[in-house]
């Protein structure tokens, strides 16, 4: 599981930041959360291919979160895509997807399937789910909880050998959840596997005020990506426009007990966002401000910011 921040600015792009777009790689899948203008170019600068995006989740219909859809879809088309693209968002997503996919005389050569979500709705991808959560913004808006399903326990090699299971194909069968027979005795997977392991969880807030619902949804998450549009001296403005300050995001992370807080949706008033990082770290030390093209793995139970991988892309640190 790998997070790549394609755009980390809020409202308007700046020389340092594009607008909202986050790619999450889970196995072979690439999910895109929000798609601000210029997202396809940001993909080209990143280690992630936009051709591998299977599903897009739009948090709400402010331009800096969805206006990149027409360009991304056309770039996919010009690059020869033929596999279907699924796009999810709040009410109105179906109509909007039909509009942006066919602007001008353009017709995509691949299927585009749109779905609408409200709080509590989930998309099941097999090994993991994406669940929508109602956020608190100036228009209907969603947060997203990405959570792996519990995984099988670790394979106990010594226990398998004690039961007479020979190394090789039988080990693989047991690890895959299938029983094997050794000298007439059936060995069940439960006999050689440890307890089930909790899956990883990532929460992406979208644009929102801090809410109890996000705290509850993010409880125990490895990573919380929370907007921090302003510093706390501008708290009244943040409240008026349905945004959070860095301190408020940190308070959410602390209450939820997350492993790492990543701040994003940074106002273009900040040429240097270190003020936001320092403000949040006073409340929740395991905080980092996202920069465009920042990429990091999501590790089980991992803390941060140690281990954050910052490739040589643009953006101050």
| Residues 180 and 255 reside in one and the same domain | no
Backbone angles phi, psi at 96, to 5 degrees: -65, -40
Which pLDDT score, from 0 to 100, does residue 302 have?
A: 62
Pairing mode of beta strands 53-57, 29-33: parallel
Taking phi first (over 0 means left), then psi (-120 to 50 degrees means alpha), and beta for anything else, what does residue 195 get? beta
- In eight-state DSSP terms, residue 191 is G
My answer on whether 48 and 170 are in the same domain is no
pLDDT at 218 (0 to 100): 96
Residue 301 has pLDDT above 90, yes or no: no
**Is residue 312 predicted with pLDDT exceeding 60?**
no
Together in a domain, 51 and 102:
yes
pLDDT of 96 reads: 94
Any idea of the CA torsion for 19, 42, 30, 123, to the nearest 10 degrees?
20
Q: Are residue 267 and residue 281 in the same domain, yes or no?
A: yes
User: What value does the mean pLDDT of the chain take?
Assistant: 91
Tell me if 64 is assigned to some domain.
yes
One domain, residues 37 and 184: no
Which CATH number goes with the domain that contains 211? 3.60.15.10
Look at the chain and report how many structural domains it folds into: 2
Instruction: Determine contact, residues 148/199, Cβ cutoff 8 Å.
Output: yes
Report d(CA 284, CA 249) in Å as an integer. Answer: 9
Whether 178 and 32 map to the same domain: the answer is no
Assess whether 40 and 69 both reside in one domain.
Answer: yes
pLDDT, position 316: 26
Final residue of a domain: which of 135, 168, 191? 191
Q: What are the pLDDT digits (tens) for 78-107? A: 999 999 999 999 999 999 999 988 887 788
**Catalytic positions, written as ranges:** 64
The domain in which residue 114 lies consists of 2-151+197-297
The pTM of the full predicted model, rounded to 2 decimals, is 0.86
Task: List, for residues 267-283, the tens digit of each pLDDT value.
Answer: 999 999 999 999 999 99
**312 domain-assigned:** no
Residue 95 belongs to a domain: yes
State whether 207 and 275 are in the same domain: yes
In a domain, 307, yes or no: no
Q: Which of 25-39, 192-206, 291-305 has the highest mean pLDDT?
A: 25-39
Residue 128 and residue 209 in one domain: yes
Q: Are residues 184 and 135 in the same domain?
A: no
Collect all residues with Cβ–Cβ distance below 8 Å to 216 and sequence separation of at least 6: 256
Q: Which residue has the higher pLDDT, 75 or 300?
A: 75
10 Å CB burial of residue 53 (0-12, 13-18, 19+) is buried
What mean pLDDT do residues 110-132 have? 95
- Looking at the domain assignment, is residue 178 inside a domain? yes
Whole-angstrom distance, CA of residue 38 vs CA of residue 72: 8
172 and 257 share a domain?
A: no
Q: Is the residue at 270 inside a domain? A: yes
What are the structure tokens assigned to 172, written together?
Answer: 């693989």
Question: pLDDT category, 152, cuts 50, 70, 90?
Answer: confident
In this structure, the answer to whether residues 107 and 183 fall within a common structural domain is no
Confirm whether 49 is domain-assigned.
Answer: yes
Q: Is residue 34 part of a domain?
A: yes
Q: How many CA atoms lie within 13 A of 40 on its CB side?
A: 14
The CA distances from residue 109 to 38, 54, 77, 81, 197, in Å, are 21, 15, 6, 7, 41
């Amino acid at each position: 599981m790998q997070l790549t921040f394609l755009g980390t600015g809020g409202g308007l792009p700046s020389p340092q930041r594009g607008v909202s777009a986050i790619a999450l790689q889970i196995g072979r899948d690439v999910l895109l959360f929000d798609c601000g203008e210029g997202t396809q170019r940001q993909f080209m600068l990143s280690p992630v291919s936009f051709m591998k995006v299977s599903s897009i989740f739009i948090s709400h219909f402010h331009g800096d979160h969805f206006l990149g859809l027409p360009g991304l879809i056309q770039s996919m088309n010009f690059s020869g895509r033929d596999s279907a693209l699924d796009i999810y968002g709040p009410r109105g997503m179906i109509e909007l997807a039909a509009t942006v996919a066919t602007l001008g005389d353009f017709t995509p050569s691949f299927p585009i399937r749109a779905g609408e979500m409200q709080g509590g709705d989930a998309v099941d991808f097999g090994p993991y789910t994406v669940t929508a959560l109602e956020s608190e913004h100036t228009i209907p808006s969603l947060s997203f909880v990405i959570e792996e399903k519990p995984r099988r326990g670790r394979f106990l090699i010594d226990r398998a050998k004690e039961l007479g299971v020979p190394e090789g194909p039988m080990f693989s069968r047991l690890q895959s959840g299938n029983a094997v027979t050794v000298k007439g005795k059936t060995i069940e997977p439960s006999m050689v596997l440890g307890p089930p392991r909790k899956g990883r969880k990532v929460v992406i807030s979208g644009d929102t005020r801090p809410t109890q619902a996000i705290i509850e949804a993010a409880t125990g998450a490895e990573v919380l990506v929370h907007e921090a549009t302003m510093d706390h001296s501008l708290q009244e403005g943040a409240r008026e426009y349905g945004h959070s300050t860095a301190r408020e995001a940190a308070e959410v992370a602390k209450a939820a007990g997350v492993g790492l807080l990543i701040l994003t949706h940074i106002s273009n008033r900040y040429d240097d966002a270190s003020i936001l990082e320092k403000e949040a770290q006073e409340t929740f030390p395991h905080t980092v401000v996202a920069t465009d093209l920042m990429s990091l793995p999501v590790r089980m139970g991992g803390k941060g910011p140690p281990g954050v991988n910052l490739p040589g892309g643009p953006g101050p640190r």
